[in-house]
């Protein structure tokens, strides 16, 4: 997450507000900004689109009420790293 701190203040604010919104509802719904990914790994991982520039990948531990953000990157970086998800 150190890379986030190097971004312009406006981008940092948008990212942190979006991540904070996961506290209220981390589950995918009808809005299309959150999606469960179907990767080969057994881990259930979710993607959150943040604005039109960034993507956060996270997991949900519903039993312990924990959301763990694994990565935040540009959408372009996500496509390079994970393919077109």
Query: Once rounded to an integer, what is the mean pLDDT over residues 9-29?
Result: 94
With the CA atoms of 13, 18, 23 and 24 taken in that order, what torsion angle do they form, in degrees rounded to the nearest 10? 120
Convert the pLDDT of each residue in 66-80 to its tens digit: 999 999 999 999 888
* pTM for the whole structure: 0.86
Residue with tokens 């993507």: 55
Domain ranges of the chain: 2-82
Convert the pLDDT of each residue in 42-62 to its tens digit: 788 999 999 999 999 999 999
Cα–Cα distance for residue pair 39/61, rounded to 1 Å: 18
CATH code for 2-82?
Answer: 3.30.2310.20
């Amino acid at each position: 997450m150190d890379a986030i701190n190097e971004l312009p203040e406006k981008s940092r604010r948008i990212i942190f507000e979006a991540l904070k919104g996961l506290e209220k509802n981390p589950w995918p719904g009808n809005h299309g900004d959150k999606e469960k990914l179907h990767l080969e790994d057994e881990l259930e991982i979710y993607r959150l689109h943040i604005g039109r520039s960034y993507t956060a990948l996270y997991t949900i531990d519903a039993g312990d009420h924990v959301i763990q953000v694994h990565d935040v990157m540009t959408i372009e970086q996500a496509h390079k790293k994970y393919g077109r998800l």
